[in-house]
């Protein structure tokens, strides 16, 4: 299909925390196999509400059937990670994007790369974290993100066809939690696996706890004009956990 046939709505925020709603392939986002012991394993729970506003614009994926890159970071208790050389961010799309995991004081959490090429991150039970993406290029991208196998926007199983956030050219994007509605997210907080959002929602799979996934698509923006919404009460975002 030609790109012009894939125009759809795009949601964004006043600080360029933008959501891109696009048509794409229906393949699922892969999750690396977890091998941590139960004492080392962490999940991510549905934390406190944080203000985060979004609005509508329009755009499309330039290559709807193929992501520019799919990447993942596995995480577990920091004290269980071996001492090794670390890096502060993960380059994506040939260095056009830098992906950093921040702690609650906005400091980068170091990443360790294993001999097999897997990226590991050390967390602490109860600590809050966020995902920051810095666009160093003049291209616009869509960032589709999962935590513990769940899409951070709709709370459903991760899929490459899901809506993502817009990462505009020469701008940054910080994702602080699972989206509850157009005004608020539930903060990402490290937790024990049994308290993870993925362990307490019907769409979750406990086998995917302990991994953060990202798929990057290059996009073309059509308009930044917001259209009136005749059904503003409809909520396509994540439902709270069932403890």
Tell me which DSSP letter residue 21 carries: -
Question: Beta partners for 218?
Answer: 141
* pLDDT computed for residue 85 by the predictor: 67
User: Of the segments 25-39, 50-64, 114-128, which one has the largest average pLDDT value?
Assistant: 114-128
* pLDDT computed for residue 185 by the predictor: 97
Is it the case that residue 174 has pLDDT exceeding 60? yes
Question: Beta partners for 136?
Answer: none
Closest listed residue to residue 141, CA positions, set 66, 61, 70: 61
28 pLDDT band, cuts 50/70/90, is low
Structural element, H or E, at residue 228: none
130 pLDDT band, cuts 50/70/90, is very high
Q: How many CB atoms neighbour CB 111 within 10 A?
A: 19
User: What are the φ and ψ backbone dihedral angles of 213, each rounded to 5 degrees?
Assistant: -120, 150
Tell me which DSSP letter residue 239 carries: P
Domain coordinates of the chain in residue numbers?
38-157+164-223
SS3 string, 158-193, reads CECCCCEEEECCCCEEEECEEECCCCEEEEEEEECH
* pLDDT computed for residue 3 by the predictor: 34
* C-alpha span between 167 and 18 (Å, rounded): 7
User: Of the segments 7-16, 52-61, 185-194, which one has the largest average pLDDT value?
Assistant: 185-194
* pLDDT computed for residue 223 by the predictor: 61
User: Could you read off the pLDDT of 176-186 as tens digits, one per residue?
Assistant: 999 999 999 99
Angle at 52 between CA 204 and CA 194, to 5 degrees: 25
* pLDDT computed for residue 43 by the predictor: 98
* C-alpha span between 47 and 31 (Å, rounded): 23
* C-alpha span between 187 and 47 (Å, rounded): 4
Name the CA radius of gyration of the chain, rounded: 17
Report the pLDDT averaged over residues 157-167. Answer: 94
* pLDDT computed for residue 38 by the predictor: 60
Contact 76, 209 (CB under 8 A): no
User: Could you read off the pLDDT of 70-127 as tens digits, one per residue?
Assistant: 999 999 999 888 877 689 999 999 999 999 999 999 999 999 998 898 999 999 999 9
User: Could you read off the pLDDT of 207-232 as tens digits, one per residue?
Assistant: 999 999 999 999 999 865 556 778 77
């Amino acid at each position: 299909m030609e790109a012009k046939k894939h125009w759809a709505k795009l949601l964004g925020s006043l600080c360029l925390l933008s959501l891109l709603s696009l048509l794409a392939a229906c393949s699922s986002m892969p999750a690396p196999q977890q091998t941590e012991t139960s004492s080392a394993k962490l999940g991510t729970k549905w934390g406190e509400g944080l203000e985060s506003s979004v609005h509508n614009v329009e755009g499309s994926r330039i290559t709807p059937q193929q992501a520019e890159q799919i990447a993942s970071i596995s995480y577990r208790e920091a004290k269980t990670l071996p001492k090794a050389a670390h890096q502060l961010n993960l380059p994506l799309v040939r260095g056009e994007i830098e992906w950093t995991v921040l702690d609650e004081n906005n400091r980068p959490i170091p990443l360790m790369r294993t001999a097999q090429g897997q990226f590991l991150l050390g967390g602490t039970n109860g600590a809050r974290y966020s995902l920051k993406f810095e666009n160093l290029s003049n291209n616009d991208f869509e960032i589709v993100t999962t935590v513990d196998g769940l899409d951070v926007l709709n709370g459903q199983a991760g899929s490459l066809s899901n809506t993502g956030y817009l990462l505009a050219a020469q701008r940054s994007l910080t994702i602080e939690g699972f989206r509850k509605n157009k005004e608020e997210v539930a903060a990402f907080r490290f937790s024990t696996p049994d308290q993870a959002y993925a362990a307490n929602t019907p769409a979750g799979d406990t086998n995917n706890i302990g991994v953060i996934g990202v798929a990057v698509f290059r996009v073309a923006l059509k308009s930044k004009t917001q259209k009136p919404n005749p059904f503003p009460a409809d909520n396509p975002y994540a439902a709270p956990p069932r403890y």
